[in-house]
């Protein structure tokens, strides 16, 4: 089978979990299939407007710069004044349409699987369907519903009543997105439902398909002499880190540590919030191998989001390492955490509730050990082999 993945970013250009996911499933599928990837690269002269081709292992990767005012990878460093023009071009980029269509005509894959398309635009759908190729699309965020892809106001509050420009943006996206993807999937039912409620993909089949992870054969043994509490992710307000720091500082047990891993725009502010508590340590951005060590050592992972998180990879990675998760009851997080079995849930922003859970678990190593065993067992539901098998079934069904 010949499969083509289309994603706005692909390593080494990484922003979030979507790019890592595409890389992972492409690598696995390439063991028994022919796999190509169409993605973008930063502008580097006129030649970058034409696709270049590279080979990594068995993967063939096409990269080009879609004509626009900046590259997606550098969006956070870009002046806000020009972002509306970027979004306008990104509604339907004719350059993307012709480049993608030409590559697909040359390769003629059996099936195309699209992912985040911000920076490529939804003209990608038109390019695929103009050749009558089966199309699967996976939703990783809210970029079809919201210009910042997060359903958040600039103040950090969840957007429940979009402003007029955002409504126009969403209306245009809906018009272009409904160009008949045969199958639309998402890691959480919550994200699928938000798009269906907004009248997206009304004639497409939809499917909840959680992410896949590679598991070890045996569970890692944990040490409970010191209770390690872990946060991994972007250091930004919407991730709820101030709530975690405030709750942790109220835990009186001196035999606990809070390890905060990641980088982001609010790191200095969070460090100031934690001043006076030597149990809190910031590690910044670390290597994959070091991160794995922290997962193995951690007794609890906390995901304190105050936005509609989709299906955080940090939860999957924690479970596979036998680390129970305490998460906000918001977005797709509750779909991965079974209360009292592999973790606990608390109301978003409720510092007292989170403090009570942390304080109770930090004094109960027997409960933590039970949660750890259950976390590892629940991770088996997301084993990457199962995930790849399901994807293959979807592809073959569409080809038939």
Which strand ranges, in their side-by-side order, compose the sheet holding 300-303? Answer: 280-284, 256-261, 227-232, 300-303, 325-328, 343-346
pLDDT at 15: 83
Torsion of CA 11, 17, 22, 26, to 10 degrees: 80
Report the chain's mean pLDDT, rounded to a whole number.
93
Chain centroid to CA 132: 29
Rg of the chain on CA atoms, in Å: 22
pLDDT digits (tens, 9 = 90+) for 65-103: 999 999 988 887 788 788 889 999 999 999 999 999 999
Q: Indicate the angle between helix axes 17-29 and 384-399, nearest 10 degrees.
A: 70
Q: What are phi and psi of 54, to 5 degrees?
A: -135, 160
CA nearest 248: which of 239, 236, 260?
260
| Alpha-carbon separation of residue 48 from 14, 64, 66, 70, 318 (angstroms) | 19, 6, 9, 13, 39
pLDDT at 362: 94
For residue 5, give the 3-state DSSP assignment: strand
Domain ranges for the chain = 2-212+383-399, 227-382
CA nearest 279: which of 295, 258, 260?
258
Residue 155 predicted with pLDDT over 80: no
pLDDT digits (tens, 9 = 90+) for 319-369: 999 999 999 999 999 999 999 999 999 999 999 999 999 999 999 999 999
**H-helix or E-strand containing 346?**
strand 343-346
pLDDT at 230: 97
The CATH number assigned to the domain with range 227-382 reads 3.40.50.2000
Q: What angle do CA 100, 103, 105 make, to 5 degrees?
A: 105
Q: Do domains 2-212+383-399 and 227-382 have the same CATH topology?
A: yes
| Alpha-carbon separation of residue 211 from 24, 154, 261, 308 (angstroms) | 10, 29, 22, 17
pLDDT at 162: 85
Chain centroid to CA 391: 18
pLDDT digits (tens, 9 = 90+) for 161-211: 888 888 899 999 998 887 789 999 999 999 999 999 999 998 899 999 999
Q: Is 364 exposed, middle or buried (0-12, 13-18, 19+ CB in 10 A)?
A: middle
pLDDT at 220: 86
| Predicted TM-score of the model (pTM) | 0.91
Q: Which fold has domain 2-212+383-399?
A: Rossmann fold (3.40.50)
Q: Cis ω on the peptide bond leading into residue 12 (within 30° of 0)? A: yes
What does the alpha-carbon distance between residue 306 and residue 327 come to, in Å, rounded to a whole number?
Answer: 10
Q: Is 158 exposed, middle or buried (0-12, 13-18, 19+ CB in 10 A)?
A: middle
What does the alpha-carbon distance between residue 389 and residue 400 come to, in Å, rounded to a whole number?
Answer: 17
What does the alpha-carbon distance between residue 18 and residue 7 come to, in Å, rounded to a whole number?
Answer: 9
Residue by residue, what is the 3-state secondary structure of 113-177? EECCCCCCCCHHHHHHHHCCCCEEEECCCCCCCCCCCCCECCCCCECCCCCHHHHHHHHHHHHHH
pLDDT at 154: 72
pLDDT digits (tens, 9 = 90+) for 234-284: 898 889 999 999 999 999 999 999 999 998 888 899 999 999 899 999 999
What does the alpha-carbon distance between residue 69 and residue 305 come to, in Å, rounded to a whole number?
Answer: 32
| Alpha-carbon separation of residue 337 from 79, 226, 238, 244, 355 (angstroms) | 39, 24, 20, 18, 18
Residue 231 predicted with pLDDT over 80: yes
Rounded percentage of the chain residues whose pLDDT exceeds 90: 78
Residue 370 predicted with pLDDT over 90: yes
């Amino acid at each position: 089978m010949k499969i083509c993945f289309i994603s706005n970013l692909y390593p080494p250009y990484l922003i979030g979990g979507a790019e890592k996911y595409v890389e992972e499933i492409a690598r696995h599928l390439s063991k028994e299939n022919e796999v190509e990837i169409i993605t973008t690269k930063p502008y580097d002269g006129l030649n970058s407007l034409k696709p270049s081709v590279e080979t990594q292992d068995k993967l063939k990767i096409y990269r080009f710069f879609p004509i626009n005012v900046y590259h997606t990878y550098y969006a956070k460093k870009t002046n806000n004044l020009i972002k509306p023009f970027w979004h306008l071009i990104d509604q339907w980029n004719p350059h993307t349409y012709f480049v993608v269509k030409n590559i697909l005509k040359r390769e003629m894959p059996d099936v195309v699987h699209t992912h985040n398309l911000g920076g490529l635009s939804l003209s990608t759908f038109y390019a695929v369907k103009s050749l009558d190729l089966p199309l699967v699309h996976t939703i990783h965020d809210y970029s079809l519903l919201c210009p910042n892809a997060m359903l958040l106001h600039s103040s950090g509050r969840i957007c429940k009543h979009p402003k007029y420009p955002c409504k126009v943006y969403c209306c245009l996206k809906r018009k272009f997105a409904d160009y008949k993807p045969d199958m639309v999937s998402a890691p959480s039912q919550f994200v699928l439902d938000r798009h269906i409620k907004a009248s997206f993909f009304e004639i497409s089949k939809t499917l909840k398909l959680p992410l896949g992870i590679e598991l070890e054969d045996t569970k890692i043994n944990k040490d409970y002499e010191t209770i390690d509490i872990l946060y991994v992710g972007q250091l930004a307000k919407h991730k709820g880190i101030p709530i975690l720091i405030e709750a942790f500082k109220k835990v009186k047990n001196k035999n606990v540590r809070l390890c905060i891993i990641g980088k982001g725009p609010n790191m200095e502010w969070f460090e100031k919030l934690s001043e006076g508590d030597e149990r809190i340590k910031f590690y910044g951005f670390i290597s994959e191998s070091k991160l794995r060590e922290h997962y193995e050592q951690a007794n609890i992972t906390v995901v304190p989001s105050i936005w509609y998180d989709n299906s955080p990879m940090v939860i999957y990675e924690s479970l596979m390492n036998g680390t129970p998760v305490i998460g906000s009851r918001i977005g797709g997080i509750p779909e991965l955490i079974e209360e009292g079995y592999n973790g606990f849930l608390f109301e978003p922003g409720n510092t007292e509730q989170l403090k009570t859970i942390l304080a109770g678990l930090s004094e109960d190593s027997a409960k933590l050990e039970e949660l750890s065993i259950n976390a590892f067992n629940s991770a088996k539901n997301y084993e990457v082999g199962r995930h790849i098998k399901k994807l293959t079934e979807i592809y073959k069904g569409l080809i038939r």
